[in-house]
Structure 1
Amino acid sequence: MSDPDGRRPNAGTGALVLAATPIGNSEDASPRLRRLLAEADVVAAEDTRRTRDLAARLGVHIGGRLVSHHEHNEQSRADELLEVVAGGGTVLMVSDAGMPSVSDPGFRLVNAAVAAGLPVTVAPGPSAVLTALALSGLPTDRFTFEGFPPRKPGERARALAALADERRTMVFFEAPHRVAEVLAAMAEAFGADRPAAVCRELTKTYEEVRRDVLGALAAWAAEGQVRGEVVVVVGGAPARAVATTAELVAEVLARSDAGERLKDAVSDVAAAAGVGRRDLYAAALAARSR
């Protein structure tokens, strides 16, 4: 049995290997993934049927034991899999598509392996997050992966509102039947003119990337059912113009003259501008006494 990088292991060594699987096109499977499927002592799969199908398409015979490893049994399965690693075996963990543990099972098992001091490594490969980000045409120097937005409208609205000022490009997963309502919610939270891209069926025959502002994308999605696996990429919030102290003081005094308590006006203006309340309050008092 070879170890994950192809060398013969020392006696008693084992490893947990997270391997990325194709997100659509089976030709994206790496030679390393093919070998690991054939040689691993245990293949822990999110869906064993899909993994058998992938192996068949790759012309690979799964040589070890194939077991299910999904969100509902991940905790209970961990001890069994880590016993294999501790005994010197190789456990290969795969999800249905892409990298395990990224919006897929895997985190708990990796966490348990690390806590136990057992070797963990990765066989890198396809990623829906990075593929969509690269295709979006939006800035890629800084980004954040936000996973699936909450399903309930109220929770979703609050989650998106909390991201309204996020400066980094944001990447979301979403089910096709919820894309229209999610895009509408994003247009409400981020502004209809925020640039975005809807990427569907990545690497597959009918791959499509629509780049536009959120308002237009929401209108497009509302016209009919969006089909296939979907990744939504949204541009970050534009930089806010930095107000001068004089401008902030003028706003505070105007609100105070309109009947608002000076301290309340200072608190609101300082919070919105991201400046210290104490300094702004002192500046407002000084300006008023002139």
Structure 2
Amino acid sequence: MSLKATEVQPSPTRTPPFGRLGFDHNLKEYWDPASVKPHDEQKKDLVRGYLALGWRGRIHFRQLATDCPREGLAEVPPSVPHDLLSPLHRQALSWGASLFWIRTWFGNEDVSREDADSAYARLCGVVMKEAGGRGLTDRPWVFEDEGRFADRSGESETYTGVTPPYVLEAFCDYPDRLEAGLVNEKELEDMRYFDENPEEPAECWLVVVADREACEEGTVLFMEIDGFGEMLPGRLRVPPRDVATRVNCYINGQHLSLETEGEEGEIYAWCDGDPWDHQAPES
């Protein structure tokens, strides 16, 4: 069973041409045609570096994308690949989103894939029942690829300031996701305001992780990712029946920091006893 998500079909006529995304310009500047690394590996290195710039460092590339003609860049070195992001991934950036949902538990040498699938199916079933059968998010933001996201250790320890490998993997599909809304001069000016007023908090990104603990024990991991792609303090573990409510609260502006108060580590919210039977009271 997969997490039910809203299916959104891309339009073949609305794919942003090369040059209309900030990452395109980063790629054009830093791609090394002489590298012996496979394209996927070199792409991951570039995405890692792109995230490390932070949103301030990426303003330059967003400006280049904003200034780029609608038909895309007229001249690009032939050695620079244009297909590192699929048409779906390029187009999905304009659809809006609220979170990444990432499955990392697929079993290991001690737990069969069949048992891991059953545990994940149970988790998805409870989450979707509480969501009223509606898609929790759009399909492009649900990651369930074992080959890319599997964590065989089953131990998803989280540390502030670290970019988990599964988060980096997701951003490899959407390297501009953290600034996807910056499409015109006004929004770029808004970012410059934040740049000049560092005390003002910039946007962060929600990641919900279906790791081994979430699938087997019913404590789903919520974390916020900052403009560098790094974990912020105060991760939450919540019962499956509370996932949809927590996501809606986040969409409405209730960030995790309001509840965790920046505490380090993972905070368990309404997970006493059997989390599968628990749900936070109505506020």
Under TM normalisation by the shorter chain, which class is it?
Answer: under 0.3
Which TM-score applies when normalising by structure 2?
0.25
| Greater strand share, structure number | 1
User: Which is bigger in relative contact order (C-alpha 8 A, separation at least 6)?
Assistant: 2
Structure exhibiting the larger radius of gyration computed from Cα positions: 1
